[in-house]
């Protein structure tokens, strides 16, 4: 049996919300800000600062750097660290969280420490294979009271599901927030509580409310905590509303469909936009054959009530871990002479879905197309007949055809890659998992064509910028008896994962030859600029260089990327993200590389752009990510033009 096209497609078309009358921010703030994870709530990663331009960016120099000391390569008693924290500039201070769950408040001009706060959290890999942190969130009251603490607050979560709130001026815990400055979010983890609701991503601060998602490990179990999103009072931590993406009948036997990445919001429309992930387990769905139309979706909620205003599902009955990875970027664009309040949702599939952010309706047609069904080898599975495909912009990578074997990798491995390709089934991107042969080729891989760094947007030229990865994996399902024999214990994304409770475990591997060379043709990563008035590509180019055994590959081959870009009114794109641990600047107009510097590890966090006392700065965090390579760091590097 396969689910019907009509039942699989959901579009809520409730009345558009009324415009807020006060306290709302315009989509693009009048003054330069970088006070949240993606710079602003619109997730544009855009700065109107123009001191650094395409003409002078080559003169950038490092004006200060800080090494936090909070780093582990996994060789000692601690798990390795993964540090993806975008610095937040607010209150004339640069704030950052570390993978040892400390908050640092730094002087933005010198890096001198103003204060630090240690959550004393256990440094254990409870839900992730590494100690992981994506930073902090900032809130301030509109009605400050003199000499009272916590009129401005910094928030940071921990892997063991505690949310800390400290005074932004002093680093002292906020006594009125939850239990003396600490909220135990795990108190609400009551269904299939197989792991804590890890708070790795900072909450989205929308007005006086915190919108909080969490991360888990949906590759490990069939049943998992349902992906509840919580709305909290920013002052007290009191829960005001919650949202469930899974229908009630699925919450006991499946789980997740959570929001593990950042969210965006339009305060004038009173909407918060949730990138919702896939249900558990990732690669078998026989336990969740009922419709779950809010899973793997973008869902717009009323900020005040948490009620669904509209939703679009981007993968029906997800069997590929293609969960929605990034905050949608909000933008006002002009298409065929018409002004459109738009939203662009980047996906792991390499798709960019563009809809009206008020209603969820298509800007360019999004078509339901037939996709492959199963091969009969997987018991209990139900396959979606169709999946949504955007007609514009074009996919960032070609998933329609089986990627071509790279002759060089094949030659040096005496045909190992060709032999592997012959044993992998592939009828396009949505070819479902199988128990046969070496399994099914997965392209893009489960880490994604686009990851949580998301899309940047220049509102002046209406240009969107996004970095991609081109990675081939292959996945095979094993029945329980075969899995127990085959499991190497490697776990997570690199090998065997149990999907415990389900009739199948999985093996997920990257398609490399015995030398570690990719079996598919480069490039392995690109930077792409899109004209959002037409949906056409303005330019695209390989980004960075891949590195193996200490050698850099040609830059024309590009690099896998994690983390995203920032763009400025000076016509410059800043990005780290690549295996070679370089920080780069590109021309917004042409894509020409204009500047680079070497960091101590891959800068897998989005850069931050800010101005302090008349000088413009660009801040990078170089922390590394073990998905990319075994190179970690604890460096904050900040650049400016010479005085």
* Residues noted as catalytic: 321
Which positions ≥6 away from 152 have C-beta within 8 Å? 90, 91, 138, 139, 140, 141, 144, 167, 168, 169
Please list, residue by residue across 65-87, b when 16 or more beta carbons sit within 10 angstroms of its beta carbon and e when fewer do: bbebebbbbbeeebbbbbbbbbb
If you search the block for the tokens 């302090």, which residue do you land on?
612
Taking the C-alpha atoms of residue 621 and residue 395, their distance in angstroms, rounded to an integer, is 30
Report residue 29 as tokens.
């703030």
Are the beta carbons of 433 and 488 closer than 8 angstroms? no
If you search the block for the tokens 């931050």, which residue do you land on?
608
* C-alpha closest to that of 543 among 464, 603, 467: 467
Whats the size of the chain, residue-wise? 643
Where would I find the H helices in 38-113? none
Cβ-based burial of 233 (10 A; exposed 0-12, middle 13-18, buried ≥19): middle
Are the beta carbons of 636 and 602 closer than 8 angstroms? no
- E runs forming strands in 453-501: 456-458, 463-469, 473-479, 496-497
Where would I find the H helices in 179-305? none
Report residue 414 as tokens.
């005496």
Instruction: Give SS3 for 357.
Output: coil
If you search the block for the tokens 């010479």, which residue do you land on?
642
Give me the DSSP letters along 161-201: SEEEEEETTT--B-TTTTBTTEEEGGGG--SS-SS--B--S
Are the beta carbons of 632 and 624 closer than 8 angstroms? yes
Report residue 169 as tokens.
């001026």
């Amino acid at each position: 049996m396969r689910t019907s096209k009509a039942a699989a497609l959901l579009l809520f078309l409730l009345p558009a919300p009324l415009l807020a009358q006060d306290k709302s921010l315009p989509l693009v703030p009048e003054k330069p800000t970088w006070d949240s994870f993606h710079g602003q709530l619109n997730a544009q990663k855009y700065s109107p600062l123009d001191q650094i331009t395409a003409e002078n960016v080559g003169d950038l120099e490092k004006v200060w750097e800080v090494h936090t000391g909070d780093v582990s390569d996994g060789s000692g008693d601690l798990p390795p660290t993964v540090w993806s924290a975008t610095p937040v500039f607010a209150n004339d201070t640069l704030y950052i969280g570390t993978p040892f769950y400390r908050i640092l408040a730094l002087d933005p001009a010198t890096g001198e420490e103003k204060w630090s706060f240690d959550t004393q959290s256990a440094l254990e890999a409870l839900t992730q294979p590494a100690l992981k942190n994506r930073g902090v969130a900032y809130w301030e009251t509109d009605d400050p009271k003199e000499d009272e603490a916590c009129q401005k607050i910094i928030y940071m979560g921990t892997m063991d599901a505690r949310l800390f709130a400290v005074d932004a001026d002093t680093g002292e815990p906020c006594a009125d927030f939850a239990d003396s400055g600490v909220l135990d979010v795990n108190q609400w983890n009551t269904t299939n509580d197989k792991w804590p609701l890890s708070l790795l991503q900072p909450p989205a601060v929308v007005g006086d409310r915190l919108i909080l998602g969490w991360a888990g490990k949906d590759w490990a179990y069939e049943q998992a905590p349902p992906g509840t999103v919580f709305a909290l009072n920013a002052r007290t931590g009191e829960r005001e509303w919650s949202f469930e993406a899974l229908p009630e009948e699925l919450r006991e036997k499946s789980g997740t469909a959570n929001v593990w990445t950042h969210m965006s919001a339009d305060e004038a429309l009173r909407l918060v936009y949730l990138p919702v992930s896939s249900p558990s387990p990732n690669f078998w769905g026989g336990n969740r054959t009922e419709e779950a139309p809010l899973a793997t979706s973008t869902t717009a909620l009323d900020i005040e009530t948490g009620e669904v205003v509209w939703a679009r599902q981007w993968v029906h009955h997800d069997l590929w871990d293609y969960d929605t990875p990034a905050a949608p970027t909000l933008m006002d664009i002009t298409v065929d002479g018409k002004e459109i309040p738009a939203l662009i949702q980047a996906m792991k599939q390499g798709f960019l879905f563009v809809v009206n952010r008020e209603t969820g309706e298509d800007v360019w047609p999004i078509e339901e197309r037939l996709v492959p069904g199963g091969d009969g080898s997987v018991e209990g599975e139900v396959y979606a007949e169709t999946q949504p495909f955007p007609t514009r912009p074009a996919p960032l990578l070609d998933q329609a055809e089986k990627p071509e074997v790279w002759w060089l990798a094949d030659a040096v491995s005496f045909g190992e890659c060709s032999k592997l390709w012959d044993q992998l089934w592939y009828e396009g991107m949505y070819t479902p998992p199988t128990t046969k042969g070496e399994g099914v080729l997965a392209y893009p891989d489960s880490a994604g064509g686009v990851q949580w760094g998301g899309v940047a947007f220049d509102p002046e030229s209406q240009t969107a910028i996004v970095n991609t990865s081109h990675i081939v994996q292959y996945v095979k399902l094993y029945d329980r008896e075969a899995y127990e024999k085959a499991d190497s214990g490697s776990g997570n994304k690199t090998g065997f994962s149990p999907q415990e409770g389900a009739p199948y475990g999985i093996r997920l591997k990257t398609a490399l030859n015995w030398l570690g060379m990719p079996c598919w043709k480069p490039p392995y990563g690109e930077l792409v600029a899109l004209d959002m008035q037409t949906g056409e590509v303005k330019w695209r180019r390989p980004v960075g260089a891949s590195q193996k055994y200490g050698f850099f590959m040609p830059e024309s081959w590009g690099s896998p990327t994690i983390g995203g870009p920032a763009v400025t009114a000076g016509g410059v794109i800043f990005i780290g993200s690549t295996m070679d641990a370089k920080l780069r600047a590109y021309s917004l107009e042409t894509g020409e590389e204009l500047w680079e510097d070497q960091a101590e590890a891959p800068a897998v966090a989005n850069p931050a752009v800010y101005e302090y006392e008349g000088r413009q700065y660009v801040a990078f965090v170089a922390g590394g990510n073990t998905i990319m390579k075994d190179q970690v760091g604890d460096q904050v590097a900040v650049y400016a033009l010479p005085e």
